[in-house]
Structure 1
Amino acid sequence: MRNILIAAAVSLLLSMAGTPLAIRLFARRGYGQNIREEGPSGHYDKRGTPTMGGTVIVIAALIGYFTAHLMTFFSSTPEPPTVSALLVLFLMTGLGLVGFLDDFIKIYKQRSLGLRSGAKALGQLIVGAVFAVLCVQFPNAYDITPAETRLSFLRDFGPASIGIVAFTIWVLFIIVGFSNAVNLTDGLDGLASGATGVVLASYVLIGNWQLRNSCTAALGPNCYVVRDPLDLAVVAAAVLGALVGFLWWNAPPAKIFMGDTGSLALGGVIAGLAVTTRTQLLLVVLAGLPVIITASVIIQVGFFKMTGKRVFRMAPLQHHFELKGWAETTIVVRFWLIAALCAAAALGLFYLEWMPKQ
């Protein structure tokens, strides 16, 4: 618990203090947001707002996590970083770098599109494949690896392994899907920050619960076979702290945008936590808002190709409500509430199997 508090506090302070410095630096260098012409007209006022704020989130989270572990070396029981946590941080940082390249090209070429879709997808796939393969390595003293080649919901399920190839493809689907889902959610000031924040807060609770009911501590019918549950909670807390500090400046009206640097990194970290905590399918409910927003894009594109007509005035879904006349802050707050309800439902499902059976 001490590491969780230290990681969250350090990353929060660094992010809150570092973001205004980034705003001034990016503004001085002209690292401003370009706005797509076909977007809602109200977004033109945001043109030139500093972007790439996700760099602050990633750096603050990394410093917060490693500071928490560094502090333990001054105690009687040092706690070095764990493999599971380092893998999730690698995934976050790797996808953040892909997003950084995308953002930088947008700024350098002064256009709303950065990396070509193929190059962007390739970067995500390379980082994701390395993560997936390494996740089934590094067994601990109890022969538990950061992940197993199995599907999971509240824990791993199924009679047997699906094999390393199928598992890698499945993990890549999760990583690419959720990193792009958070990217689609990042369309209004503070929307992606708040939606991802409730997911990270949930993983702090999940990691703590898995630690208290770990099969390595007390074998029981519902115990969890998770390699490093507490340290995964520390990762979630570090990123959450950095995200809250950033949201202070990203809330409407935003002084800075996270850009693809932030959205891809955040999508990667929640995907990585889902794989390493063995809650892959639960993430669909836990991150329900990004899933709904992504589904709106799929429905819009698919229906238009089949019929030539649109279901929504514009996709992603948040822009549909903008064009209906909803104020941006109204959409953001209401979508935050939806995100919180999805997270609460997922946590309810997670704890359901521990309810007394009549």
Structure 2
Amino acid sequence: MSVPWTLVTALLSWFLVGLFIRVSKARGWGQPVRKDGPQTHLQKEGTPTAGGVPFVLALALVFFPLYLMGRGGDGRELVIMLAALGMGVIGGIDDFLKVRSRMVGGKKELLAREKFPLQLLVALVFAFLAAPLASHELLPGLGGPLVLGAPLWDALLLTFVMIGSVNAFNFTDGLDGLLAGVGILVLLPLVALSPSAALLVAALLGYLWFNASPARVFMGDMGSHAIGAVAAGAYVLYADVWLLPVAALIPVVAVLSVVIQVAYFKRTGKRFFRMAPIHHHFELLGWPETHVTVRFWVITAVMTALTWWLLGGRP
């Protein structure tokens, strides 16, 4: 991926996100804030949400013309981008419902029992397309019988990885600049290999201009779903699926904190963390929001460096 196209993506994302903020403010597309969360978040009431829509649009507008011209990589890139757009659309429906409910009432969001089957469908399609193309054998000696040309157990593993990645990155969102920074760092080891990863990093840089504290726009589910899908796809098809949770330690911890919180509350009626996902727990302990964000960036940078070393040292 040549530098000018990443620059084009970053500038286009910056322009579209800025335009989206202006339109959102004019139409009142603001996001409500939980009253039981950190009190410092109350001032964010009404901040435009669904900011992932314009940067995902910028990503698509640059990638697909490049791909059609033969400059966007091979079939692996198409698989990654289709997964990103499929998951992004699911998140976009959620964003639309949230904005509409604030404006005119009605359904507030997709319920888990509605969202999960859609995620499962996209993940299954990705898994059966990606398993034969994976950079390394996923489950040595345990791939299982071929189904639709893909080893069954490999396909099931990739289905789990895709759904897990999308939801882990989604739960990481919630603080100004947190997910955008984490997403950029997680994808950095693969920018020289995967055009879609490189373009998404560029798009996130354009978005982060407005999402840095104090955020002028929030990402919403479309953006977080697309980031999780690209991260899963790129690590499966260009690196090693087992390195994804290493680089994405913060998203893994975020989703685990939610699972622990829900399970503990159902068992005891009490909260294990002051609030989940875990970044809000640290806020309620007294950490300033910017400290939580930067420290989580630092942890991700360390884990990404470890991932980079593991990639370089692998035969």
Tell whether the structures are fold-level matches, with TM greater than 0.5: yes
Counterparts in 2 of 1:85-234, with a 5 A limit?
Answer: 85-110=77-102, 113-136=108-131, 145-147=132-134, 150-151=137-138, 158-159=140-141, 161-163=143-145, 164-205=151-192, 207=193, 233-234=194-195
Q: Assess, with a 3 A threshold, how the Cα gap between structure 1 residues 278 and 351 changes in structure 2: closer, same or farther.
A: closer
2-structure distance, mates of 1:339, 1:149: 24
Q: Percent identity?
A: 40
Q: Assess, with a 3 A threshold, how the Cα gap between structure 1 residues 150 and 296 changes in structure 2: closer, same or farther.
A: same
Q: Which moved more, 1:288-297 or 1:184-193?
A: 288-297
**Matched residue of 2:43: which SS?**
helix
Q: What's the counterpart of residue 148 of structure 2?
A: none
Give the number of the structure whose residues are more often helix, by fraction: 2
Report deviation, 1:339: 1.0
Report deviation, 1:159: 2.7
Q: What's the counterpart of residue 219 of structure 2?
A: 258
1-structure distance, mates of 2:121, 2:161: 14
Q: Assess, with a 3 A threshold, how the Cα gap between structure 1 residues 314 and 80 changes in structure 2: closer, same or farther.
A: closer
2-structure distance, mates of 1:150, 1:32: 46
Q: What's the counterpart of residue 59 of structure 2?
A: 61
1-structure distance, mates of 2:108, 2:277: 17
Q: What's the counterpart of residue 285 of structure 1?
A: 246
Verify the 8 A CA contact 2:257 2:276 in the aligned structure 1: yes
1-structure distance, mates of 2:108, 2:213: 24
Q: Which moved more, 1:295-304 or 1:195-204?
A: 295-304
**Matched residue of 1:281: which SS?**
helix
Report deviation, 1:321: 1.1
Structure number, greater radius of gyration: 1
Question: Residue type of the partner of 2:275?
Answer: M
Verify the 8 A CA contact 1:15 1:56 in the aligned structure 2: yes
1-structure distance, mates of 2:72, 2:210: 33
Unaligned runs of 5+ in 1: 137-144, 152-156, 208-232
Report deviation, 1:310: 3.0
Report deviation, 1:299: 2.4
2-structure distance, mates of 1:113, 1:247: 27
Q: How many residues align?
A: 307
Alpha-carbon RMSD across the aligned residues, in angstroms, is 2.2
Report deviation, 1:277: 1.8
Verify the 8 A CA contact 1:93 1:265 in the aligned structure 2: yes
Report deviation, 1:4: 3.7
Verify the 8 A CA contact 2:143 2:152 in the aligned structure 1: no
2:298 equivalent to 1:341: no
Q: What's the counterpart of residue 294 of structure 1?
A: 255
Report deviation, 1:67: 4.9
1-structure distance, mates of 2:67, 2:77: 12
Q: What's the counterpart of residue 31 of structure 2?
A: 33
2-structure distance, mates of 1:65, 1:260: 21
Verify the 8 A CA contact 1:4 1:237 in the aligned structure 2: no
Q: Which moved more, 1:237-246 or 1:38-47?
A: 38-47
1-structure distance, mates of 2:82, 2:309: 30
1-structure distance, mates of 2:71, 2:275: 50
Question: Residue type of the partner of 1:198?
Answer: L
**Matched residue of 1:19: which SS?**
helix
**Matched residue of 1:125: which SS?**
helix
Q: What's the counterpart of residue 49 of structure 1?
A: 47
Q: Which moved more, 1:44-53 or 1:242-251?
A: 44-53
Question: Residue type of the partner of 1:91?
Answer: A
Report deviation, 1:162: 3.1
Q: Assess, with a 3 A threshold, how the Cα gap between structure 1 residues 158 and 168 changes in structure 2: closer, same or farther.
A: closer
Verify the 8 A CA contact 1:9 1:64 in the aligned structure 2: no
Verify the 8 A CA contact 1:7 1:68 in the aligned structure 2: no
**Matched residue of 2:133: which SS?**
coil
Which of 229, 232, 250 in structure 2 is aligned with 1:271?
232
Report deviation, 1:316: 0.9
1-structure distance, mates of 2:186, 2:90: 22
Verify the 8 A CA contact 2:135 2:240 in the aligned structure 1: no
Unaligned runs of 5+ in 2: 146-150
Verify the 8 A CA contact 2:134 2:237 in the aligned structure 1: yes
